[in-house]
Amino acid sequence: MIKFFSIALLLMCLTVTKVSAGWYQCFNFKGNIGAYPITLSMQIREGYFGEKNKRSYNLIGVYKYDKFNTPIRLEGRLDTVSNKAVLYETVNNVQTAVFEFKFTERGCTGVWRSSKMARQSLPLALNLVSKIADVNKGTSFSNTDVLQFESLPELYFVANYSKTKGRDQVEMNQLKIIRKKDNSLYQTLSLENVEAQTGNVMTIIYDNVTVIDKKRKTLGISANMGKDINPLTIFYNSKSGRFYFDKSGVK
């Protein structure tokens, strides 16, 4: 599994050659679907969808119900004239619900509708808590949390990003590993001393952490290591109950 992940990442990075600025325009929200608290993030990404029926799509995202904490994929479109956003909840490539709302940074209100039950709809309210924009070297920010899509049965992951003014790209500073059952912090992995650019190789920001082996709890974080492009592999020690990575790649 680790070898497969490494080859896939290598092929992608050889195609890109150099990760350029402008990967991420990302908006992170807290809010509610009816009485249910949620965390939702969406990234504006023009031209990402190659499928014929998704040519108008320019949004991808992820959200979770804060009671259950299992991330769910989102995809859809933002009308940049009317600022109307439509996001489709997607589970196993099937659209299971739709979010419709007016996007503003002051706050968003709209509706959530089930695709399975036509009459089931709930009010939607979202409040912006942070954003990421690395479209040019002049932007800077620190300690911005972004929910990752993949998770383990009992744990989910939040990547913490910062961007220094004058640098081309955002970088992942920390990986927060959080318990699903109660949202308590299980462990924080610091990535600040990793030599490679970390957590900014994948075009979609929510895909920079991958579960390589669910049984062994082995993770991969995207890392640009020059000619030898491999994931920064995170291992799990069952005796200590802690995650760790090979220190040979740190400064």
Signed CA dihedral, 103, 107, 110, 112: sign only: positive
Tell me the C-alpha distance between 206 and 192, whole Å: 19
Strand ranges, E, within 45-170:
59-65, 72-78, 84-91, 94-102, 108-114, 121-133, 141-147, 155-163
Residue reference for tokens 């969808």? 49
- Give the pLDDT confidence score for residue 120 in this predicted structure: 86
pLDDT of residue 167: 73
Q: Which pLDDT value is given to residue 248?
A: 59
Report how far residue 12's alpha carbon sits from residue 195's, in angstroms, rounded to the nearest whole number: 20
- The pLDDT value recorded for residue 128 is 97
Per-state percent for the chain, helix, strand, coil, to nearest 5: 10, 50, 40
Looking at residue 10, its pLDDT comes to 39
Q: Which residue has the tokens 């956003």?
A: 85
- The predicted pLDDT at position 12 comes to 44
* Residue ranges matching CATH 2.40.128.120 in the chain: 25-130
**CATH classification code of 25-130:** 2.40.128.120
The residue ranges of the chain whose pLDDT is under 50 are: 2-20
pLDDT mean across residues, the chain = 87
pLDDT value at position 225? 67
**pLDDT attached to residue 140:** 79
Residue 47 has a pLDDT of 82
